[in-house]
Structure formats: structure tokens, C-alpha cells
């Protein structure tokens, strides 16, 4: 069995063991739970919902009439009097009548506001469209991050098992050297050399153990969980570096979801700036009011009659033009203009960064693939070296030190395969984020 398939088999065996021993956590399950619990994705959903209501707000404010109802009732009143001269020395006083109870229905609809309503509606539409794109992009990002963290946690466990096995191997060597030292077939140098390598192996085992805990917590955090101790089940995808690289051809960054959303946000900021500058134009509105009120008929029944309700209404037009408000409107317009420039700068930053990220991760994937192939060759060579060293030791031509060095080379080469494999998965994940599309098939 080749080292490549041996590594995959180890990871697969790990997954099967986990699934048999307890409720395991597969990659698909981890992705589903992440989409259900990830605060990053939940925030993207909330932003999309917020901007959808922002669309309706801008439409209602700019294109629908504003209707309000109001009323009042006076429990006590003190009427003033109107003096009327009829040619007599003493004027006749008539009480001035005020409605005791009124109910008003007012309506207003702007028909021209310097196109502020149009600009605000365009800004809201583009903001919502950007939020929709970013919501889908958040799903893609969460899946990619969970996948990478999942494989990292699996690889960390494999590396810990390999480090533990290396410690056991060195402990066996130490016992052998001690026995040979007592029989005079080894030197104290041989024993000290094994002890030093054993101490180093135990340190590596401790680091590998910490890496398992850290990788597992990192996966749980990416899934939106505080902690998770379920055993992982599954296997890593087959390594196909050349095939993945061939799928990265002539990337159109304008269609990458996050860049498209940035462009939408920049356009929305420009629309918002245009809306803020509409204060220079007058506002023209249609207005109307319908009034239901009671007015005492004092000429016939006196001031005590308050049950005589009447109705009135009017329709008209109104115009307002703020010519000076202390510079508040101008300050808001300049503020919106600066935000539009900020959005354009953010867009340009991402546009400049995108080709760099693509090239960097393509190179990283290619170099990681080359290293992976080299490590596979190193494993084959290390296995042969162990075989030859063992045969030489039995024949008396090699020492335990030679066997130990060969086995250490084999351990390091095998660990290098796992690390190189993880580097490849990290590179292809980031390359998928750089292109905005999946390259792998799992």
C-alpha cells in the first residue's frame, strides 16, 4: 500500500472508530450545525432582513401618501366675546365659538423633492441586493471554514497518534539499549542518545496533544458552539492538485460574490450622497384634511348644545424650501459624500487584493503539492532505510543507533506527509475563497 493511501486509510479508520465508539461528528453534520449556529451567518441573515425592510421604508416615505389622524376634546371652556357695532352706543357681544370635540384626518404626499425619493429608493435596492449576495457568500464562507477546520482537527489527531507511537518506539529502543548496555553490547553514548531523542519525542507529543485540543476548539467556535467533544468521523478528500489548478482559469473577479456586493454598496453610497444633496431643491406636496367637529349653535339653543357635529375638508398644495438651517443639511450632504468615497476606496482595496490572493494561493497550492509528492517519496525511502538498518543490525554491521535514526526519519517523513496534505487543503480552501467557487468535489 502506498504512503498516500496509507495516510487516507489511517484517517478513514479513525473516522470509523469514532463512529462506532460514540455519536460521531461528520463533515456534513458539522456544516449543517454551523449554518444553524454560526453568529457570522446569523448576522448576514439579519442584515439581509434589515435591508429588505429598508427597501419598504424608502418606498413608503418617498412614493406613498402620509396619512395621520388626530383628535381633541375640551372638558371645560371659557369662550371669549366678539364686539359687533350696529350703530348703537354699546356694541353687542357675540360669543366666539370653538369646537369642543374635533377629529382630523390629514394626508400629505410629496410630488417633488429634488428626486430625493428616487435616489433613496435606488440606494435601498442596491443595499438590499448587496446584503442578499453577502448572505449567500456567508454560507459559502462558513462551509469552507468548517471544512478546513474539520480536516485540521482530524490531522491533529493523526499527528498525535503518530507522536504517541514514536514515543512508544523510543521507549522500546531505550529498554533494548539498557539491556545491551548491561551485556556490554552498547555504550553509555547510545543510551544518552536515545534518552535525548525520547525527551524530544515526549515534547513533540505534548505539543501534538495541545494542537488537538486547540484544533477541536477552533472547529467548535467556527460552528458557533462553545465546546464540542464528539469524535470526528470521515476522511480527507483525494489529493488532486493538478486537477484543482486546471479549474482556475481566467477568473472574472467582477462576478465574485463579495466583490459584486462591494460594488453594490459603493453604488448605494453614491445614491445616498445624491439624496442628501437634494436639499437645494424645494419640496412640493399635495395636502388635504377632513375634519369632524361639534360647534354649539348659540343663536338658537345657547352654548349648552354641543351635539351638533359638522364636517369640513380641504385639498390643496404646499411648497417648502429651506434656505438656511444653520448648515445642517450641507453638513449631512458632505458627510454622505465622504461615505461614498469611503465605499469606493473599500471597493478598490478589494479589487487590488483579489488578484494578489489568487496568485499567492495558486503558488501555495502548487508548492504544497510538490512538497507532498516529495514527502511521499521520502516515506518510501525511509521505510527501505528502516528495513536495511534492521537487517544490518541483525547481521551485526549496524548499531541500534542506525536503526533508531532510520525509524526517526520514517516518523518525520510520515508526519511530513500529513502536514503537507493539510497545507494543500488550506491552500485549496483559500483558493476557493479567492475565486468564489468550489474546486473540489467532496
Please give the pLDDT value at position 317: 95
pLDDT score, position 243: 92
Query: In this predicted structure, what is the pLDDT of residue 85?
Result: 75
Which tens digit of pLDDT belongs to each residue from 392-421? 988 888 877 888 889 889 999 999 999 999
**What local confidence, expressed as pLDDT, does residue 303 receive?**
46
pTM here? Answer: 0.82
Contacts (Cβ under 8 Å, ≥6 apart) of 143: 31, 34, 35
Cα torsion 332, 338, 344, 346: sign: negative
Query: Which pLDDT does position 297 carry in this prediction?
Result: 59
* Cβ neighbours for 251, distance < 8 A, ≥ 6 positions apart: 358, 434, 435
List the chain residues with pLDDT less than 50: 1-21, 301-304
Q: What's the gap between Cα 95 and its chain centre?
A: 71
pLDDT of residue 298: 54
Cell numbers for 91, please give them: 356694541
pLDDT for residue 325: 86
Summarize pLDDT for 221-279 with one digit per residue, the tens.
999 999 999 999 988 888 999 999 998 988 889 889 999 999 999 999 999 999 999 98
Tell me, what's the pLDDT at 3?
Answer: 43
CA–chain centroid gap for 441, Å, is 23
- Domains of the chain, residue spans: 3-66+113-281+337-435
At 311-327, the pLDDT tens digits run 899 999 999 998 888 89
Burial class for 426, CB neighbours closer than 10 Å (0-12, 13-18, 19+) = middle
User: With b meaning 16 or more CB within 10 Å and e meaning fewer, what string describes 281-305?
Assistant: eebebeebbebbbbbbeeeeeeeee
- Please tell me the class of the 3-66+113-281+337-435 domain: mainly alpha
How far is residue 100's CA from residue 310's CA, in Å, rounded to a whole number? Answer: 12
**Residue 69: strand, helix, or coil:** strand
Question: Beta strand pairing status for 92-95 and 101-112?
Answer: unpaired
Amino acid at each position: 500500500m502506498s504512503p498516500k493511501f496509507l495516510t487516507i486509510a489511517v484517517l478513514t479508520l479513525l473516522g470509523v472508530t469514532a463512529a462506532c465508539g460514540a455519536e460521531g461528528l461528520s463533515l456534513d453534520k458539522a456544516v449543517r450545525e454551523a449554518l444553524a449556529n454560526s453568529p457570522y451567518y446569523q448576522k448576514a441573515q439579519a442584515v439581509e432582513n434589515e435591508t429588505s425592510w429598508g427597501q419598504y421604508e424608502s418606498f413608503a416615505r418617498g412614493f406613498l401618501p402620509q396619512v395621520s389622524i388626530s383628535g381633541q376634546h375640551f372638558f371645560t371652556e371659557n369662550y371669549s366675546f366678539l364686539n359687533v357695532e350696529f350703530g348703537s352706543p354699546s356694541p353687542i357681544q357675540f360669543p366666539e365659538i370653538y369646537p369642543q370635540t374635533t377629529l382630523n384626518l390629514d394626508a400629505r404626499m410629496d410630488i417633488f423633492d429634488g428626486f430625493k425619493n428616487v435616489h433613496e429608493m435606488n440606494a435601498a435596492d442596491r443595499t438590499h441586493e448587496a446584503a442578499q449576495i453577502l448572505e449567500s457568500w456567508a454560507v459559502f464562507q462558513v462551509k469552507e471554514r468548517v471544512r478546513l477546520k474539520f480536516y485540521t482537527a482530524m490531522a491533529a489527531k493523526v499527528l498525535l497518534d503518530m507522536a504517541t507511537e514514536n514515543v512508544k518506539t523510543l521507549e522500546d529502543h531505550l529498554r533494548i539499549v539498557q539491556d545491551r548496555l548491561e551485556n556490554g553490547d552498547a555504550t553509555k553514548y547510545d543510551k544518552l542518545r536515545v534518552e535525548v531523542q525520547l525527551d524530544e519525542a515526549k515534547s513533540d507529543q505534548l505539543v501534538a496533544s495541545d494542537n488537538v485540543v486547540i484544533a477541536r476548539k477552533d472547529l467548535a467556535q467556527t460552528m458557533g458552539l462553545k465546546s464540542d467533544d464528539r469524535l470526528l468521523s470521515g476522511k480527507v478528500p483525494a489529493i488532486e492538485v493538478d486537477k484543482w489548478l486546471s479549474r482556475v482559469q481566467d477568473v472574472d473577479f467582477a462576478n465574485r460574490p463579495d466583490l459584486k456586493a462591494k460594488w453594490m454598496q459603493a453604488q448605494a453610497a453614491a445614491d445616498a450622497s445624491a439624496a442628501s444633496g437634494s436639499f437645494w431643491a424645494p419640496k412640493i406636496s399635495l395636502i388635504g384634511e377632513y375634519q369632524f367637529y361639534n360647534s354649539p349653535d348659540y343663536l338658537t339653543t345657547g352654548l349648552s348644545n354641543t351635539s351638533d357635529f359638522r364636517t369640513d375638508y380641504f385639498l390643496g398644495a404646499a411648497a417648502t424650501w429651506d434656505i438656511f438651517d444653520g448648515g445642517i443639511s450641507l453638513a449631512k450632504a458632505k458627510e454622505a459624500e465622504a461615505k461614498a468615497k469611503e465605499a469606493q476606496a473599500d471597493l478598490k482595496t478589494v479589487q487590488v487584493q483579489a488578484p494578489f490572493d489568487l496568485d499567492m494561493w495558486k503558488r501555495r497550492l502548487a508548492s504544497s503539492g510538490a512538497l507532498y509528492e516529495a514527502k511521499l517519496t521520502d516515506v518510501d525511502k525511509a521505510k527501505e532505510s528502516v528495513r536495511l538498518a534492521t537487517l544490518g543490525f541483525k547481521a551485526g554491521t549496524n548499531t541500534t543507533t542506525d536503526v533508531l535514526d532510520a525509524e526517526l526519519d520514517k516518523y518525520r517523513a510520515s508526519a511530513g506527509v500529513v502536514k503537507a496534505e493539510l497545507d494543500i487543503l488550506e491552500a485549496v480552501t483559500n483558493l476557493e475563497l479567492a475565486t468564489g467557487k468550489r474546486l473540489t468535489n467532496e
